[in-house]
Structure 1
């Protein structure tokens, strides 16, 4: 037990490559810090908790997750998906409630890791993940419309599409053209720099260029505003709230944090040869990161795939690079808070719009729509529900739809086939039916078994071959029991051949074997089963 718990905790082996990789880790950490700065500020502003909270989250949660997380190269902090969940919470419960939600969500995620639930993310189908990602990208883009137009206010529909339309209608034209031009300028610079070199910190450079231009021209633009010149002192969040109203949002945030962090860690492990990730430890680390963030007034943290990808491409080998990234942002707080304060909000909107646009890849959408009808349906449904309703509901419905199509495919792959009796025919063979059940016998295919066997009349002995049956669930076993009982009640003798060892327990517990007329009607080989069936026919002939 001690050994299993030890795998959830930091160890010196996390830094075994540091002696040879420290230069690369240092450079990667600084690079990621430069990339993370505008994103942290933008996500904080967009979620409604403020730029300061975004920066605090990147520093505190980024540091804690780097030390306690389960990935060697994961970089954590505020992300766009979390913004989508937090914005409605801020509107309905107020900014002060975010700290409590962050704390509760962190505890939930940490407990999930301690309970070894980390691998459950592998059950989420790929079309669900991609539909979810595209939906988040669309929402993030739409959420930037107010800042890009220089409009304010929250008296608008919570649905991102309706809210964006309302803000466009409420914008003051032509005054809105100025912030819109700033956002467009940031996007244009980022696109240009990305084409020149994928290694350039495009968002950081775009923010610097636009901010300098705005200050030089004295443009009337809303800015981030004053930031603290140091981290606030840690404090336990105030519990002066109706916790029952926050439990639901906390579970939603926790689910999203777990899903996004584990997906990011899984992608990162495939991008680098620094070793596998520990899914359970990753949940514990991300949970502790959000708890720590709540003490400093931050927001929930998750693994960030964009920053993690930059980390990998910059040469990171150990978690020291993510630690350096957090320390680099801390230096910004202490030395450059006044500089950061003058960044136009419209510029941050441009950064997030460009980030969101990269999440909605036309190539990926084409691939998903051409993969297959079932996959395309799951992808589209998940994306639409994400944009229209709720992220967590979208994932749940997406998984349910994917499960429906998977079960439907399994049901179609299973079959009940009547076979000819092998060898030379004998008198009375026409009254013996040999059925082979292939594939899976579960609740989706059980009724087909009954219908298929009931099609045949004048049968006195039925042999059911189960050796080709790969999967059987409780419903399938129960249906098989009912079928045998019904046939025996009609005077039809049932013989079962070839029960696989892994199916014996469920068939025994649910009465399949007990429903046979005689224990001798259970055979391992087909030859003896057919001979026994013929002996029943011969005895019946003599009785007549």
Structure 2
């Protein structure tokens, strides 16, 4: 983990503009307009579901989306608020207020920039798939739960945020269902589901909002008793000017309190944006610069909170819409933010008329698409360890909260990784004869005779804390006849860590106390460096650290030979 001299920051916008043409602009313009229209209902819905106003959702999409396209490492990534953040944002606002959310988002932005600077973009991609699926399906179920109140028109205030108690409240209030509201929600759902069957390019959620809003507006005019709650009813008339940047107070106490939430936002943002970028690369054949992407996401999340915005990340659905409509450069992403800005400045009064149950229908479809239930079913055929990781992260996300789920999920990922590496590191024991080329592709086989009293232990794989203990146990269990020399063959050890060095030190000392020589063989330059730094050479003698097994066996045979001869002589 090093800055390694170079900062890997090359926004795709700069390289795209070098060879930009009018034809390319036409494609980007069409894609940008379509994505802007698709993003509109989502930005409003995500804003409301996160516990802020629709205006904030739009401002986040405009400013955050612009910065992600301008500074990101993927040509087609569309940034904005996404469903993944609804749960965490809602709980931060509940516990720390809007000021707390702004500070957490700002800190998350700084963490993302650090991840990019330390070249950790590629590492994030290695988070095990079952964990990502566990998070997203857990978040999907939580989003679905948050929409039941609006979809059924229960009119409940102060619904508990915990999953189980929330459903308890819903079930006990099902008699309060508002049938007009449920009808509006159900019709919206139908329109969203059926639109793609007519044309894949039509944005179902926007068409549902236009048709249903117009119908509700007309019905309200004709039948005053037709009561369906709209955005305007809940939020009053929405402001139509971009808010002034504002600061916030930082104190060490606030930072400590909000650090876990900031870490959760940063990890979620990194996972989701790089996942989206990987999917986009698969379709377009381009290559994302992961570190630049993280820095771009970081910049967006640092700026957005100053305008009251919520966290921003790459959005898979909007990115795919961009690709299918011909967008190939970050210019399309910038055009999508301009479209949203124009709607924000000139059409905001119309947004007041949108029924809340229609937005709930939009989010129910988002949660269905997020759930990835087919993937979940597929993973259930995988090894038990993967299934258990998926189930644990899913349950933690749903029943507790995302911060705990992400922390324990990452911990599980590390434990599973260590277990797999430990299982893959083999330790073999040889005596009497040893084939030098065994375990390699060499066709020339040289067999070495090993003197009586020489034991050879081969470690095949990384020698780190997980393996060190395993090796220790093996040495104790294979004592049998006490050898004169132990050769530790390390040709297949790519690295060694502090715990392994410590265990090696104990093994050398305890062997020497029993009068057993230790010879290290096949030590690669990198491992040798670590051994020399930690003083292993002065323990065994530098000539006992050999770079090839032939030298090690020759030395061991000489020591064992003279020992055997001496004992043979004294026996007579």
CA distance in 2, matches of 1:21, 1:88: 43
Does residue 364 in structure 1 map to residue 375 in structure 2? yes
CA RMSD between the two structures: 3.0
1:230-249 equivalences under 5 Å are 230-239=240-249, 243-244=254-255, 245-246=257-258, 248-249=260-261
Does residue 220 in structure 1 map to residue 227 in structure 2? yes
Q: Residue 462 of structure 2: SS of its match in structure 1?
A: strand
Match of 2:276 among 264, 275, 279: 264
- The runs of 5 or more residues in structure 2 that have no matched partner are 221-225, 436-446
Does residue 73 in structure 1 map to residue 80 in structure 2? no
CA gap 1:198/1:529 in 2 versus in 1, 3 angstroms: farther
Structure 1 match to 2:526: 502
CA distance in 2, matches of 1:36, 1:401: 35
Structure 2 match to 1:431: 453
Deviations 1:269-314 (A, max 9, x none): 33323x3223333233323323433333322211111111111111
Whether the aligned pair in 2 keeps the contact of 1:63 and 1:323 (CA below 8 Å) is yes
Per the TM alignment, residue 401 of structure 1 is displaced from its structure 2 partner at its CA by 1.3
Match of 1:528 among 549, 554, 561: 554
CA gap 1:96/1:426 in 2 versus in 1, 3 angstroms: closer
Whether the aligned pair in 1 keeps the contact of 2:13 and 2:330 (CA below 8 Å) is no
Match of 1:199 among 198, 201, 218: 201
CA gap 1:449/1:282 in 2 versus in 1, 3 angstroms: closer
Per the TM alignment, residue 154 of structure 1 is displaced from its structure 2 partner at its CA by 5.3
Structure 2 match to 1:467: 491
CA distance in 2, matches of 1:426, 1:28: 69
Whether the aligned pair in 2 keeps the contact of 1:260 and 1:303 (CA below 8 Å) is yes
Match of 1:133 among 133, 136, 149: 136
Does residue 303 in structure 1 map to residue 303 in structure 2? no
Structure 2 match to 1:92: 95
CA gap 1:194/1:114 in 2 versus in 1, 3 angstroms: same
Whether the aligned pair in 2 keeps the contact of 1:493 and 1:517 (CA below 8 Å) is no
Does residue 401 in structure 1 map to residue 377 in structure 2? no
CA distance in 2, matches of 1:192, 1:321: 27
Per the TM alignment, residue 139 of structure 1 is displaced from its structure 2 partner at its CA by 1.2
Of 379-388 and 424-433, the range deviating more from structure 2: 424-433
Per the TM alignment, residue 115 of structure 1 is displaced from its structure 2 partner at its CA by 5.2
Per the TM alignment, residue 10 of structure 1 is displaced from its structure 2 partner at its CA by 7.5
Of 32-41 and 146-155, the range deviating more from structure 2: 146-155
CA gap 1:433/1:112 in 2 versus in 1, 3 angstroms: closer
Structure 2 match to 1:456: 479
The aligned length equals 541
CA gap 1:479/1:224 in 2 versus in 1, 3 angstroms: same
Per the TM alignment, residue 357 of structure 1 is displaced from its structure 2 partner at its CA by 0.6
Q: Residue 56 of structure 1: SS of its match in structure 2?
A: helix
Q: Residue 232 of structure 1: SS of its match in structure 2?
A: coil
Of 122-131 and 51-60, the range deviating more from structure 2: 122-131
Give the alignment's TM-score, normalised by structure 2.
0.86
Per the TM alignment, residue 49 of structure 1 is displaced from its structure 2 partner at its CA by 0.5
Structure 2 match to 1:513: 537
Structure 2 match to 1:323: 334
Whether the aligned pair in 2 keeps the contact of 1:59 and 1:329 (CA below 8 Å) is yes
CA gap 1:370/1:23 in 2 versus in 1, 3 angstroms: same
CA gap 1:427/1:24 in 2 versus in 1, 3 angstroms: closer
Deviations 1:424-469 (A, max 9, x none): 9999944332222222332222223233233232223222222233
Of 520-529 and 474-483, the range deviating more from structure 2: 520-529
CA distance in 1, matches of 2:8, 2:29: 28
CA distance in 2, matches of 1:469, 1:246: 42
- The runs of 5 or more residues in structure 1 that have no matched partner are none
Does residue 45 in structure 1 map to residue 48 in structure 2? yes
Of 359-368 and 211-220, the range deviating more from structure 2: 211-220
Structure 2 match to 1:541: 568
CA gap 1:110/1:152 in 2 versus in 1, 3 angstroms: farther
